[in-house]
Structure 1
């Protein structure tokens, strides 16, 4: 019988994204917290919610952008929590816009080790996407991020971009000197970050896990499914162009279902209206998303930007459903072409159309192979072992460092 490792005291820091937009990052944080608690670890939360901005006075709203790079109030509040609770480790997720990297100084002052999950590319890009004008952009990586301001990369506004650019410029080295370990959610993300200046020794890969909800596909499936944010970088327009190509050639005999919300929702609604081969399902809750996935021939993820993970792909794997993905970034890492799904040339509508045709004709063994990959690498058991292992490693390193100093 193996000895059970002692329970950990973990403080999770996260600025929750607005509830009006689906957030895979919020879901990951919630799932990890629940997983740790159910495993017997003590997990507390230090959170701020972007939804709360709408309820602020005009004066407080005006101060929000100014405090993106540094919020002294959150530093003070966190310092008090750390004095009172003395966690073994702090796990940082998102600090934008209400927490700010000032929380790192509170952790340093309290001598509490810190890990941070990198859900995007904000360590090298002010907006975290490495994407501009329909293409990958690394103009700000390792440099003064003036290009982001010049192009108005955040919300299409130079003025709105200034706080996020200043945040990157003033806090980049603080992150790298304070955080003991950055948890990348794919090897593709890790390699991209290293290639653009991040210290390799600080970066390790820890895949997100996905709960097995017990919903599996039965039979070959009924439709092709796009499930996610309706935005340019997600390849929604590319998918519509590819589907129009397919329709003009006679169709595939199965419908395309598009589910989600985002800035292109009106455009998708107009495009889908009156078509028998397309159904726009809008924003779905978890149960609705699971049902649509389990009834799919394949999930389609034609992202134009360099996805750091691909949660919808792994959720499809859990249901025994293959995926059609852009053949780059983490997506090509998750999907083996012709084995667990199909890949297409990124940004190429003809290539995407061909891959969709292939997946409709593919044997159901692709779904079985996708499920097998899920069982090897993306279950709760694997997620818990990887996360707690990273915590213990960082805590032990911090302990050895403290003993050396003494």
Structure 2
């Protein structure tokens, strides 16, 4: 099979789980013998643009004519079997879908976040979960609150793109991959056609080595931001320290807006170590040596990649009991779930996960089995290929009567829509 992957890469200044997932899927498909090529843009390139080009970036967020022409030419030349769309913001735009329709190439799209219904894609406002746009089935609440970068003006291009292209997504994509059932449920509530949405969890490469003892530290691994629960974790840890601690140190690894605050908090303490941004090998080693990985996210995570990575290494997780985490972590079996946003609940779970080494090892073994059955490369490959075959066969289900946006789109989609069986996976 020949797959063309379309992705706007996020800035390299911050760790991106989405970039990593895209790269790992490409490697997985190629290792299985499939041809995979890339059609990419990089957000890093914006800094090198002329002032005029930078000013034009927001104007092209809803629709980028040049991208449509360039991709259509590439598709006519290369004739891939299927196009797999990931992130289109800010340099690609849904014009990608029109290019695929122009040439008649089927499209699947992975929804890594909530950009389909929430301009910033996070379902979060003022560091708290927010579903106003879900309930309204409109991005207007986000504009009113200035949800993207705290600016109404910056939010407008995203909201306009949402309004103009909402039905184009429905008619232009044969299959959407949701990366958790929790995400799918929210998208259905927002008005997306359920017949187009299937659940395909992210997979995690096998680290090659699992934890062999009880571990030597607790680990936070991720972006150092309020939304990831960093301040919540610091508050919970201070409460534990005041009560005598838990016998192992806390390691925080990552980068982000709270980096200086975390470094200052950790300085001079024996029970905390700030490790900074780790490369892939050091991340795997830090996970493998953990008593548990802590993921106290304040946001409704679509998946929870760090918890699955812990499971791959036979390490249990302590995670927030909402969003995708509730599908990954089975309470008391593969880890513990704390009340989201509650530092006392988080502290209690940390104490429990460290207090009984024998039980901790049992949870680690169960976590590894859960990984093998649900998040391994073999499972990930099967999910990808099933989605591609569904797209090629035109069996992704109806779009609730959503019409295409133009004559070209209508003509190119008509044959692929004919004969659909109306079912959903």
Q: Could you say whether these structures have the same fold, taking a TM-score greater than 0.5 normalized by the shorter chain as the test?
A: yes
Distance 2:414 2:35 in 1: 23
Distance 1:37 1:134 in 2: 39
Deviation at 1:329, TM superposition (A): 1.2
User: In 2, are the aligned partners of 1:215 and 1:290 still within 8 Å (CA)?
Assistant: no
What does residue 374 of structure 2 align with? Answer: 377
Distance 1:237 1:99 in 2: 35
Q: Does 1:287 align with 2:281?
A: yes
User: In 2, are the aligned partners of 1:190 and 1:205 still within 8 Å (CA)?
Assistant: yes
Deviation at 1:401, TM superposition (A): 4.1
**More displaced, 154-163 or 88-97?**
154-163
Query: Which among 252, 255, 267 is matched to residue 249 of structure 2?
Result: 255
Deviation at 1:374, TM superposition (A): 0.6
- Three-state SS of the structure 1 residue aligned to 2:47 is helix
Distance 1:127 1:404 in 2: 35
What does residue 45 of structure 1 align with? Answer: 38
User: In 2, are the aligned partners of 1:230 and 1:263 still within 8 Å (CA)?
Assistant: yes
**TM norm structure 2:** 0.91
Query: Which among 14, 36, 40 is matched to residue 7 of structure 2?
Result: 14
Q: Does 1:278 align with 2:272?
A: yes
Deviation at 1:147, TM superposition (A): 2.2
Cα RMSD (Å) of the superposition?
Answer: 1.5
Distance 1:215 1:255 in 2: 22
Q: Does 1:186 align with 2:171?
A: no
Distance 1:100 1:400 in 2: 23
Deviation at 1:404, TM superposition (A): 4.9
Distance 1:187 1:404 in 2: 28
Greater relative contact order (Cα < 8 A, sep 6+): 2
Map 1:170-185 to 2 at 5 A: 170-185=164-179
User: In 2, are the aligned partners of 1:294 and 1:316 still within 8 Å (CA)?
Assistant: yes
What does residue 423 of structure 2 align with? Answer: none
What does residue 403 of structure 2 align with? Answer: none
Deviation at 1:377, TM superposition (A): 1.3
Q: Does 1:165 align with 2:162?
A: no
Question: Structure 1 residues 366 and 402 mapped into 2: Cα distance closer, same or farther (>3 Å)?
Answer: closer
Q: Does 1:86 align with 2:79?
A: yes
Map 1:28-43 to 2 at 5 A: 28-43=21-36
Q: Does 1:341 align with 2:335?
A: yes
Map 1:222-233 to 2 at 5 A: 222-233=216-227
What does residue 311 of structure 2 align with? Answer: 317
Distance 1:67 1:9 in 2: 29
Gaps of 5+ in 1: 1-7
Distance 2:188 2:208 in 1: 38
What does residue 47 of structure 2 align with? Answer: 54
**More displaced, 187-196 or 22-31?**
187-196
Aligned residues: 398
Distance 1:99 1:80 in 2: 15
User: In 1, are the aligned partners of 2:246 and 2:355 still within 8 Å (CA)?
Assistant: no
Deviation at 1:69, TM superposition (A): 0.7
Structure 1 residue runs of 4 or more that deviate by more than 6 Å after TM superposition: none
Question: Structure 1 residues 402 and 332 mapped into 2: Cα distance closer, same or farther (>3 Å)?
Answer: closer
Deviation at 1:350, TM superposition (A): 0.3
- Three-state SS of the structure 2 residue aligned to 1:280 is strand
